[in-house]
Structure 1
Amino acid sequence: MAAQDQVDIISLSVTPNRRPPGVATFFNPIDMALLFEIMSRYTGTGERKLYKLLLARHALNDDTLVLMISIQFDLCWDSPLSNGPQKQPKASVQLVWSSYMDPFVIGFQLNPVPMQNPGIIIASKNDSKLAKEKTKCVCALLEWILIFLFYHIALRMKPAHPIVSVCLDYWNSLVLELFEPHQDWMTSFGPRHTASVAAGNHGIPVIVAGHHFGNASGMAPRSHIAVYKALYKSFGGFAADVVAAIDQAAQDGVDIISLSITPNRRPPGVATFFNPIDMALLSAVKVGIFVVQAAGNTGPSPTSMFSFSPWIFTVGAASHDRVYSNSIFLGNNVTIPGVGLAPGTDEKKLYKLILARHALNNDTSVADDMYVGECQDASKFNKTLIKRNLLMCSYSIRFVLGLSTIKRASETAKNLSAAGVVFYMDPFVIGFQLNPVPMQKPGIIIASTNDSKILMQYYNSSLEIDAVSKKIVQFGAVAGICGGLKANYGNSAPKVMYYSARGPDPEDTLPHEADILKPNLLAPGNFIWAAWSSVGTDSVEFLGENFALMSGTSMAAPHVAGLAALIKQKFPNFSPAAIGSALSTTASLFDKSGEPIMAQRSYASPELNQSPATPFDMGSGFVNASGALNPGLVFDSGYDDYMSFLCGINGSAPVVLNYTGQNCGLYNSTVYGPDLNLPSITISKLNQSRIVQRTVQNIAQNESYSVGWTAPDGVSVKVSPTHFSINNGERQVLSVLLNATLNSSVASFGRIGLFGNQGHVINIPISVMVKISSNTSTS
């Protein structure tokens, strides 16, 4: 990239920590990259395939001619996408080559099928500034990083064409011989899902397994998408490639970056903020790009957050009110709930239940009892016995590992002419969310081990067994499947999902808590319908389909990215911080029934282990699309504020210089987290008292506001002024005095509300962790 930036001199103040292995020490990535650059300068080819050696590049500092290169430890990154048990583990990853591709790559030729998906439209070369100006694509098609181009967001009098660029970045992976083109280009298609959530086409019928589940639309269907790939199915990805993709996106002029990825561990060093990805994103924010990141699927434990920095808008996953109810009615008048996108059996009939291992062919060995019990091979079973009956199959750890699939079991039931298929849960499978799976025949998955025991007890007690031969002579258990094709809508949503990562935001690896609220917001992330590749293998259950139902914070982030595009359309001069403010201050705190939003607290039986959500679970609350487009007041901040914050961290000056090339002496190094003009107040340690200030700007009509608040336990709060009038474009400073009234290390939460006489309500969450009062009381 230094070569692309036309530097004249490259100075490397680095050496390897050991001699490179191989036939000669000269054959190492750095020396060979430099050799290639020297050769290209002299041959005049102009085709510089210089490898991305620099993790902390600053593509936006175009006046630099002498570039100081620093090599840093490259962190592995992964996608916080959960498809229940079908999520495959990814091995660790490390370094990559960049590759030139054809100009304006709009249909990646190695996976043509996704480009035909009705939920995604491909752009022509003349549809955007990006397509006109982009002459080389020296990056790559991000797999779990989707960088959404909302370039000309204003509505046009022509059809929308969201995808304007597809690029590939795989240098680190290639160097380490981890990149496998036949697998990594073809098999993983999560980006189609997340891209269509943000900017998919409008009103597209969702047809899966022959069933119509309604119509789908993206959040901002007329926006453009540029896709950059830096992570791969077989091994994950590296920070170097992600940074290269971010740099390329910034050069291409994107307005919003959506990252459905997180690191696989906390970055080492003086603070978690100082990592290559976050610092590259800070440069992106500097030029006006709004950055959205998934919180990660590492919840529900406290401090499980893997999105760290205040310039990044972090999104957690919540449920929504649409559910697909499926159940099985037993002959003893017991009804058991389950999951499964499948039709029901004839309502007027009950069918015999036949356990798979009780219906084997005479020549079938029972040596692999678990395998045959999972119904993966129709040739193992007695078709005459199973025909027109319900086949009972075991859902074991093999499904979790991807060795067995619902799809194959359903095909077995179909080939045996079964009336339907029933999956009961192996008691060893706990802590996994079972997504509803499409089935052409009637079917159900009983997701609870307790409910599975009830089913098996009924089945076993209904068997008639010969006393002498011990053989089954009569199957007495009968049942009917109600079916789960019709969506039902409840009032207990939204709810923080158990897997959604939680705050407080860790400042370092110990971890100490940062004075930054994470997550920032909740958005729908559970059971999300969106576009899919028919050849994608991220979920074998949706193989051959154009849509898939997926779960994870990866699904939540693009909801916010799409909404951010609509905000940017309405308020084109909004800074990234102002967009984040509009999303945060208007968030909802209550579910559909008017009760406080709940948060699931455990993997096991999450519905039975929940309590009211705190800001460390949900940030400011659940996204409110209409409110975010009419925020009234906004909190703004910018690059200099974030730099002052970074420079205020103890021991950060040399790290800041290394990443940004700027000296902390240029900034006010006394700005701490609570002093940033954020739409929240977070204090990790309140020592007696503290005053923080917030500045709001009116972007609506003239309005008068009254101020109210609820103080956190163990803290007194006073806000001044308590009333103010503010005209359009004007600013108002709010002073907040917080006093610790007792000693406590238990986090407590409060809230400040600004109530306008024109209907605007501004929500500011307060979070205080350690409290040290001037008296000696404890708690």
Structure 2
Amino acid sequence: MVLDQYQTVGKEAVNWNTTENPEYVSPRDFNGHGTHVAATAAGSFVSDASYLALGRGTARGGAPRARIAMYKACWHLASIGTATCSSADMLKAIDEAIHDGVDVLSISTSFPIPLFPEVDARDAMAVGAFHAVAKGIPVVCSGGNAGPVSQTVTNTAPWIITVAATTQDRSFPTLITLGNNITIVGQALYQGPDMDFTGLVYPEGPGASNETFSGVCEDLAKNPARIIKEKIVLCFTKSTDYGTVIQAASDVFNLDGYGVIVARNPGYQLNPCDGFPCLAVDYELGTDILFYIRSTRSPVAKIQPTRTLVGLPVATKVATFSSRGPSSISPAILKPDIAAPGVNILAATSPNDTFYDRGFAMKSGTSMSTPVVAGIVALLKSLHPHWSPAAIRSAIVTTAWRTDPSGEPIFADGSNRKLADPFDYGGGVVNSEKAAKPGLVYDMGVNDYVLYLCSVGYTDSSITRLVRKKTVCANPNPSVLDLNLPSITIPNLAKEVTITRTVTNVGPVGSVYKAVIEAPMGVNVTVTPRTLVFNAKNRKLSFKVRVITNHRVNTGYYFGSLTWTDSVHNVAIPVSVRTQILQRYYDEN
């Protein structure tokens, strides 16, 4: 869900609850988005839950015994088919939540690029979240769905926990058997029935009477009905939006076709097509099907109903749609912070939801991964009620999975598949069990955030308005690199820099930690001291990190890590370094 940064009037701006704009003029959720994320965060146990008989099991939220307080700040707008949220309503909702004494705020909305400054009231999320965090309330926000393009992550204020989306160990394989007995596994939410061998076609080339056939999914409706009638159609698209699959299915259905197979880059979103077979495959498998079609006079295929596959061999991947770092507004602040499952999440929804099935729907997005983390934050709050929001964020980031639970590396999908890095998933994929006992935390409070605001050049008056007390920045300003984040991001290293971090021992009193460094390529990283010895008096210890680049040209980001280990706890933070010999230079060569 996207927050309209230009709209300043809330629900009063539209005449709601009409034929043109159906909506509940009450706190009740209309389109199901709020219901879905609330159920994911803290929904109660529901046995035998499923969606179209798929993904069957017991559904529950991350913190199922928590109490949910919902604040309606977004309103369904029929003309755009989704919700619109005003800055005024967002700020009011956050203020009400703070007043009511909530323990955690989960906010699945985001601004589009370009971002407003964190002290600007138009960025209602950053302003409202600051006030919540100042009261000890962690704020968890979605990172946005503009991936896989870099610099698209939103909700980037350092006091916000920003969440990316990954796949989970569940998929919905749908078998396509070709006439040559080769079986290809696509993905779909197809209920059946079984389809026997049926003609298979890829519309291409010139036809009679100046006709031109097209296998582009967006052009299927332009094909003559006689080409598609009573056949399964293969088409290709550059879009990763599942709406393209649904539209292709509609076009084929209207031309009396029997099914559609859409070849696309992975988009990780599945929706049913009203009982019509609509399957997604990647370009490689789509090309295999195309080669078969071209190699026989009468190509045929059959499609079987979708199954549910859980566990191996399905690996964790950062979803294509998940917005990526670095932050466009403050690149020294690593965003996103953490990743969590956000693909085909089964949870409760509103009866008005287009994809409603017996109270449930499957949805994908960073909106869905955000309440996963919010539920974990709620559990951590109950375990450690005196931890600050920064300490909770640190515990989540430093204990995250950086590999799939099987031990395999995590890939980031998009225009090209690559190994995931901190700009894809922050510290990694959230690991709730380890987060409960992180060993060390990188803690911060309001004063640290004020130093951050000073370091990035906000004026005394603008900071004063945000923190609600007179603020005068020191001269010279502190370095933004010294903000005590559970990460190190250096966006403009010309030669060398030394930065400071402080860790707080939340484990055994007499713990001794040693530094393990995985330096980014072409970069030297040294830590002083290399050993941290804690005792009853010294619960907080500081260390310095010296970073030197060996590169002599402007580079992209290289990644590494810094881990403090006592042989029981591995407190790992990502290290991201970009060499900038020529500063503030945009390179399009």
Query: In the alignment, is the contact (CA less than 8 A) between 1:317 and 1:524 conserved in 2?
Result: yes
2:508 aligned to which of 694, 698, 701: 701
Tell me the TM-score normalized by structure 1.
0.63
Identify the residue that residue 570 of structure 2 maps to in structure 1: 761
2:343 aligned to which of 526, 539, 549: 526
Q: Deviations over 1:4-31 (max 9, x none)?
A: xxxxxxxxxxxxxxxxxxxxxxxxxxxx
Give how far 1:491 is off: 4.6
Give how far 1:597 is off: 2.0
Give how far 1:179 is off: 8.3
Q: In the alignment, does 2:67 pair up with 1:224?
A: yes
Identify the residue that residue 520 of structure 2 maps to in structure 1: 712
| 598 and 432 in structure 1: CA distance in 2 versus 1, 3 angstrom threshold | closer
1:400 aligned to which of 218, 233, 243: 243
Give how far 1:504 is off: 1.2
Identify the residue that residue 542 of structure 2 maps to in structure 1: 733
Rounded to whole Å, the distance in 2 between the matches of 1:270 and 1:310 is 9
Secondary structure, aligned partner of 1:95:
coil
Rounded to whole Å, the distance in 1 between the matches of 2:220 and 2:151 is 41
Identify the residue that residue 424 of structure 1 maps to in structure 2: 261
Rounded to whole Å, the distance in 2 between the matches of 1:642 and 1:274 is 19
Identify the residue that residue 279 of structure 2 maps to in structure 1: 445
Structure having the higher Rg: 1
Give how far 1:725 is off: 2.7
Rounded to whole Å, the distance in 2 between the matches of 1:505 and 1:422 is 42
Identify the residue that residue 94 of structure 1 maps to in structure 2: 7
Secondary structure, aligned partner of 1:184:
coil
Q: Deviations over 1:703-730 (max 9, x none)?
A: 2212111222333221122223324682
Residue 184 of structure 1 aligns with an amino acid whose one-letter code is E
Secondary structure, aligned partner of 2:132:
helix
Residue 23 of structure 2 aligns with an amino acid whose one-letter code is D
Q: Deviations over 1:572-622 (max 9, x none)?
A: 1111001101101101111234233222241xxxxxx21222212211111
Identify the residue that residue 480 of structure 1 maps to in structure 2: 302
Rounded to whole Å, the distance in 2 between the matches of 1:697 and 1:196 is 34
Q: In the alignment, does 2:553 pair up with 1:629?
A: no
Residue 292 of structure 1 aligns with an amino acid whose one-letter code is V
Rounded to whole Å, the distance in 1 between the matches of 2:425 and 2:462 is 31
1:433 aligned to which of 262, 267, 271: 267
Q: CA RMSD in A?
A: 3.9
Rounded to whole Å, the distance in 2 between the matches of 1:748 and 1:301 is 17
2:103 aligned to which of 249, 255, 278: 255
| 486 and 707 in structure 1: CA distance in 2 versus 1, 3 angstrom threshold | same
Rounded to whole Å, the distance in 2 between the matches of 1:371 and 1:732 is 59
1:206 aligned to which of 49, 55, 69: 49
Identify the residue that residue 368 of structure 2 maps to in structure 1: 555
| 371 and 622 in structure 1: CA distance in 2 versus 1, 3 angstrom threshold | closer
| 183 and 402 in structure 1: CA distance in 2 versus 1, 3 angstrom threshold | farther
Identify the residue that residue 244 of structure 1 maps to in structure 2: 92
1:41-190 alignment runs, 5 A limit: 78=2, 94-96=7-9, 170-171=11-12, 173-174=13-14, 182-185=21-24, 187-190=30-33
Q: Deviations over 1:622-681 (max 9, x none)?
A: 111111111111111011110121123325223223334433327787333211111111
Q: In the alignment, does 2:435 pair up with 1:596?
A: no
Give how far 1:211 is off: 5.2
Identify the residue that residue 333 of structure 2 maps to in structure 1: 516
| 211 and 617 in structure 1: CA distance in 2 versus 1, 3 angstrom threshold | closer
Residue 435 of structure 2 aligns with an amino acid whose one-letter code is A
Give how far 1:182 is off: 4.6
Tell me the TM-score normalized by structure 2.
0.82
Secondary structure, aligned partner of 2:175:
strand
Secondary structure, aligned partner of 1:569:
helix
Identify the residue that residue 109 of structure 1 maps to in structure 2: none
1:664 aligned to which of 455, 471, 479: 471
Query: In the alignment, is the contact (CA less than 8 A) between 1:683 and 1:769 conserved in 2?
Result: yes
| Unpaired segments ≥5 residues, structure 2 | 204-214, 583-589
Query: In the alignment, is the contact (CA less than 8 A) between 2:266 and 2:413 conserved in 1?
Result: no
Secondary structure, aligned partner of 2:418:
strand
Query: In the alignment, is the contact (CA less than 8 A) between 2:265 and 2:414 conserved in 1?
Result: no
Aligned residues: 553
Identify the residue that residue 684 of structure 1 maps to in structure 2: 491
| 441 and 399 in structure 1: CA distance in 2 versus 1, 3 angstrom threshold | closer
| 239 and 771 in structure 1: CA distance in 2 versus 1, 3 angstrom threshold | same
Query: In the alignment, is the contact (CA less than 8 A) between 1:503 and 1:518 conserved in 2?
Result: yes
Give how far 1:354 is off: 7.7
Rounded to whole Å, the distance in 2 between the matches of 1:534 and 1:179 is 16
Q: Deviations over 1:426-447 (max 9, x none)?
A: x8xx568363334796845144
Residue 565 of structure 2 aligns with an amino acid whose one-letter code is F
Rounded to whole Å, the distance in 2 between the matches of 1:95 and 1:432 is 36
Query: In the alignment, is the contact (CA less than 8 A) between 1:444 and 1:483 conserved in 2?
Result: no
Q: Deviations over 1:407-433 (max 9, x none)?
A: 9989x99xx9x9xx53133x8xx5683
Q: In the alignment, does 2:462 pair up with 1:655?
A: yes
Residue 394 of structure 2 aligns with an amino acid whose one-letter code is S
Q: Deviations over 1:181-215 (max 9, x none)?
A: 95233741111111111111125322333556222
Identify the residue that residue 379 of structure 2 maps to in structure 1: 566
Query: In the alignment, is the contact (CA less than 8 A) between 2:51 and 2:346 conserved in 1?
Result: no
Rounded to whole Å, the distance in 1 between the matches of 2:284 and 2:312 is 24
Secondary structure, aligned partner of 1:582:
helix
- Identify which range, 519-528 or 716-725, moves more after superposition: 716-725
1:327-366 alignment runs, 5 A limit: 327-343=175-191, 350-353=196-199
Rounded to whole Å, the distance in 2 between the matches of 1:187 and 1:407 is 26
Query: In the alignment, is the contact (CA less than 8 A) between 1:645 and 1:670 conserved in 2?
Result: no
| 560 and 372 in structure 1: CA distance in 2 versus 1, 3 angstrom threshold | closer
Rounded to whole Å, the distance in 2 between the matches of 1:275 and 1:333 is 56
Q: Report the identity percentage.
A: 31
Residue 424 of structure 2 aligns with an amino acid whose one-letter code is D
Residue 512 of structure 2 aligns with an amino acid whose one-letter code is S
Secondary structure, aligned partner of 2:22:
helix
| Unpaired segments ≥5 residues, structure 1 | 1-76, 80-90, 98-169, 358-368, 375-379, 464-475, 508-512, 603-608, 774-779
Give how far 1:462 is off: 6.6
Secondary structure, aligned partner of 2:70:
strand
1:283 aligned to which of 131, 141, 153: 131
| 280 and 345 in structure 1: CA distance in 2 versus 1, 3 angstrom threshold | closer
Query: In the alignment, is the contact (CA less than 8 A) between 1:492 and 1:591 conserved in 2?
Result: no
Rounded to whole Å, the distance in 1 between the matches of 2:281 and 2:562 is 41
Q: In the alignment, does 2:446 pair up with 1:639?
A: yes
Query: In the alignment, is the contact (CA less than 8 A) between 2:268 and 2:320 conserved in 1?
Result: no
Give how far 1:313 is off: 0.7
Give how far 1:770 is off: 2.9
Identify the residue that residue 748 of structure 1 maps to in structure 2: 558
Query: In the alignment, is the contact (CA less than 8 A) between 2:232 and 2:301 conserved in 1?
Result: no
Rounded to whole Å, the distance in 2 between the matches of 1:656 and 1:296 is 26
Residue 735 of structure 1 aligns with an amino acid whose one-letter code is K
Residue 677 of structure 1 aligns with an amino acid whose one-letter code is N
Rounded to whole Å, the distance in 2 between the matches of 1:402 and 1:331 is 24
Query: In the alignment, is the contact (CA less than 8 A) between 2:334 and 2:423 conserved in 1?
Result: yes
1:265-414 alignment runs, 5 A limit: 265-268=113-116, 275-343=123-191, 350-353=196-199, 400=243, 404=247
Q: Deviations over 1:245-264 (max 9, x none)?
A: 11111111111111111112
Query: In the alignment, is the contact (CA less than 8 A) between 1:698 and 1:728 conserved in 2?
Result: no
Identify the residue that residue 606 of structure 1 maps to in structure 2: none
